[in-house]
Structure 1
Amino acid sequence: MNKKSQRIFAGILAVLVSIAMVGSAFIGYFLDSDTPLPNTGAYSAANAKAEYQAQKLRIDAMVEQAKKDPENVPLQTALGNEYYNAGMSAQTVAPTEIQENFKKAVEAYQKVLKTNKDPNIIVDMATSAFYSGDYDLAEKSYNEALVIKPDFINALFNYGIFLSQAKRDWAGAINQWQKALPLTQNSSEKETIEELIRQAQSQLNANQTTDGVSNPILKNGE
């Protein structure tokens, strides 16, 4: 799976944590059978940090190149992708840098979108805006992508993540994921979305049982 297709699950970590699903991320290493492995956790953490530092060096080099060639759309796209990936990596190795990486990704994608209204880029920017805390831009952009391409599974999936996490709009999230379900390309994607729907429906049912409204968090305009 390439980086673009992986972004269908861009927000999966946040939603799994929020609605109490069980998930984990790991880095795998293949070693000779006789190689001692005294501290795999520390080894993995060290390599994750090293990769993050390498990402930052790549970003610095790309920023300098972009200054010399500001109209280079492929370069700006690659820069946005690199900031996006750094934002994801920072979740485990540099939490204080998450929002800044995603803000920079938004800036790079916005430059691309001035001349290229690619729904892939729009969704990547929307998700970056979501993680950076700019919820208005995120929602506007998800809807823009879906106007251009209503059956775009990345947009439907990630918009559902946004609705469930940013707005606690479980019904809205379920609606997006139900549209995405028949568009899945493999059993893993299908099972993930089905589980998200089940968990969101459970949340919706619990809220309705509490006070008869589908989203009590929002009922007072909060």
Structure 2
Amino acid sequence: MKKRTQRIFAGILAVLVSIAMVGSGLLVFFFRGDETTSGSSASALAAKAAADYQDQKLRLDAMVQQAKVDPENVPLQKALGNEYYNAGVAAQDVAPAEVQENFKRAAEVYQNVIKIEKDVNIMAALATSAFYSGDNDLAEKSYKEALELKPDFFNALVNYGFFLSQAKQDWAGALNQWQKALPLAQNSSDQELIQAMISQAQSELQPKAATDTSTPTPP
């Protein structure tokens, strides 16, 4: 993600939300802003986060072995994909070099699930995982498939819009997705978030619109 884009969104949102873990509600792509914490508190939090991440990796190892024994167990495969996804989120702070690999593993597991069960929630999680693992083609394909099955899928609309704006620099496409998502927002905080994103997309499109509609200067 370009630093300029991070600064843009930092300017329009009072509070940045981080990419959320599976099951925690709206899965959006914003990165946390800089947070200031006292030295001792920061050290304690960092140590706990690192320990939690190591515990998570142990759980993943055990789940991988279980999945090898019972590869057709869809609930287990979903849980494994979610655990890899959440490990990707956690690794942002404690093991940045492992973020992409965790999301790649999550995407692989989610693809196995979708072969057995067409679950739109898994498709959306697959798309997010693919985006963070660097596979933009798979991400876009998965967003489109999820929205074909459920056109009013709020999370997919929001996140597909963000994908379009960041991976494709397609602000018009992003605006279209967010305008569809706005009336589907369930609470005021989500509404404010989507409205801020819509305003940003409109701002990004304004110079282009002005250029396209200008009258050529005669020679």
TM-score range, shorter chain: 0.7 to 0.9
In the other structure, the counterpart of 1:174 is 175
Contact kept in structure 1, 2:107 and 2:129, CA below 8 Å = yes
For normalisation by structure 2, the TM-score amounts to 0.81
Q: Distance in 2 between matches of 1:5 and 1:184?
A: 15
Pairwise CA RMSD: 2.3
Equivalent residue for 2:187? 186
**Cα gap change, 1:3 to 1:137, in 2 (>3 Å):** closer
Q: Secondary structure at the match of 2:116?
A: coil
Superposed CA offset, 1:112-152 (max 9, x none): 11111010000100110011111111101100001100000
2:17 corresponding residue in structure 1: none
- Structure 1 Cα separation of the partners of residues 94 and 74 of structure 2: 30
- Give the whole-Å Cα distance in 2 for the aligned partners of 1:47 and 1:207: 48
> What pairs up with 1:59-208 in 2 under 5 angstroms?
59-208=60-209
Matches for 1:11-22 after TM superposition, within 5 Å: 11-13=29-31
Q: How far apart are residue 48 of structure 1 and its match?
A: 1.5
Q: Structure 1 residues 180 and 5 mapped into 2: Cα distance closer, same or farther (>3 Å)?
A: farther
Q: Is the 8 A contact 1:156 1:180 kept in 2?
A: yes
Extract unaligned runs of 5+ from structure 1. 14-22, 29-36, 214-222
Q: Which has the higher contact order (CA 8 A, sep 6+)?
A: 1
Amino acid at match of 1:203: E
Deviation at 1:205, TM superposition (A): 2.1
Change in Cα spacing, 1:71 to 1:174, as seen in structure 2 (3 Å) is: same
* In structure 2, C-alpha distance between the alignment counterparts of 1:4 and 1:174, rounded to whole Å: 26
**Amino acid aligned to 1:161:** F
Q: What corresponds to 2:11 in structure 1?
A: none
For 2:65 and 2:34, how far apart are their aligned partners in 1? 33
Q: Which moved more, 1:48-57 or 1:141-150?
A: 48-57
Distance 2:165 2:82 in 1: 24
Aligned counterpart, 1:47: 48
Q: Is the 8 A contact 1:142 1:155 kept in 2?
A: yes
The structure-2 alpha-carbon separation of the partners of 1:98 and 1:155, relative to structure 1 and needing over 3 Å to count, comes to same
* Secondary structure, counterpart of 1:9 in structure 2: coil
Distance 1:212 1:147 in 2: 32
* Conserved? CA contact 2:21–2:85, under 8 Å: no
Where structure 2 has 5 or more consecutive residues not aligned to the other structure, the ranges are: 1-19, 214-219
Q: 1:90 to 1:185 in 2, by over 3 A?
A: same
* Distance in 2 separating the partners of 1:9 and 1:127: 8
Q: Using the aligned pairs only, state the percent identity.
A: 61
1:38 to partner: Cα distance? 6.0
> In structure 2, do the counterparts of structure 1 residues 55 and 123 end up closer, same or farther at CA, with 3 Å as the change threshold?
same
